[in-house]
Amino acid sequence: MPDTLSPPSGIGPPAPKSLAARIVGVIFSPGETYQAIAAHPRIVGVLAITTILMAASVFVFLSTDVGMNASLDQQMQVLESLRINFPDQVYDQLEARAPRARYYAGGSLLVMSPLICAVVAGIMLLIFNVVMGSDATFKQAYAIVAHSQVLLVVQQFFILPLNYVRETMASGTTLAVFVPMLKETTFLARFLGWIDLFRIWWLVSLAIGAAMLYKRKSGPIAWTLIGLYVLFALVVAAGLTAYGA
C-alpha cells in the first residue's frame, strides 16, 4: 500500500474542513482529510452522526422479523456451542426477549461507541506519545478515531441489507464467503470468518490518520495493525477449534 506523509516543514497547516467535507473525505481522500482533522480536531459532530447512524441501522434491522429471527438463531447457536444442557426455560426466555433485542443493541452502541473511540485514542497516545516520544493531544487522537468510524457506518449500511436478504447475522464481507465449501467448525473457516474486508479498510484508514497526526509513513502502521488483527483472528479461531465450540 502507498505510504502517506505529512507535508514538508515550512508549509502552513491545512485549512479546516466542514463536517460534510470531512465525512466524505475520510472515504475518498483520507490523507488530505486526516491532515486537516489533525490540524483542526473536531469531535462532537462526527461522533454523534456516526454513533446515531450505526445504532439506528441496527435498531431498524432488528425491528424486522428477519432481523429478530436472525438474532435469536445466533444466540441459540452460541448457547449450543457451550455444550451445556440448558433447560427449555432459557430458550423460552430468549424468544420472549427477541422483540427487545433492538433496544439492547441500539442502546449499547450509543454508549459503547464513544467509549471505544476513547480507548483506541488512548492506545494511540500510549504507543506514539509515551513509547515513541511524540506530542499529539488526546483531542487530536480522538478526532482521528472518531472520523474513522465513518467507514464503520458504510460497513453497516452495506452489510445489514445483505444480512436481511441472507436472513443471518453473519457478516457477508468476510473471507469465509469465498470458501463456502468449508465446514463452519473447521479452523480455517473460523479464521477466515474473522477477517472482514471492511475492518481491514477501517484499519488502513486509521493508519493513514495516525500517519498524518504523527508525521510518519502510513504503510508500516497499516501493516502492523493488520498483522495484529490477523494474529487476533488466529488466536480466536484456534481457541474455538480446540474447545470444540
Identify the weakest region by mean pLDDT among 2-6, 30-34, 46-50, 190-194: 2-6
Name the grid cell of 158. 452495506
Distance between start and end Cα atoms, the chain: 36
Q: CA geometry: angle at 166 spanning 112 and 56, to 5°?
A: 30
d(CA 92, CA 178): 35
Kindly report, residue by residue over 122-150, the tens digit of the pLDDT: 999 999 988 787 889 999 999 999 999 99
Kindly report, residue by residue over 63-114, the tens digit of the pLDDT: 999 988 888 888 777 776 666 666 777 777 778 888 888 999 999 999 999 9
d(CA 119, CA 142): 9
Record the pTM.
0.86
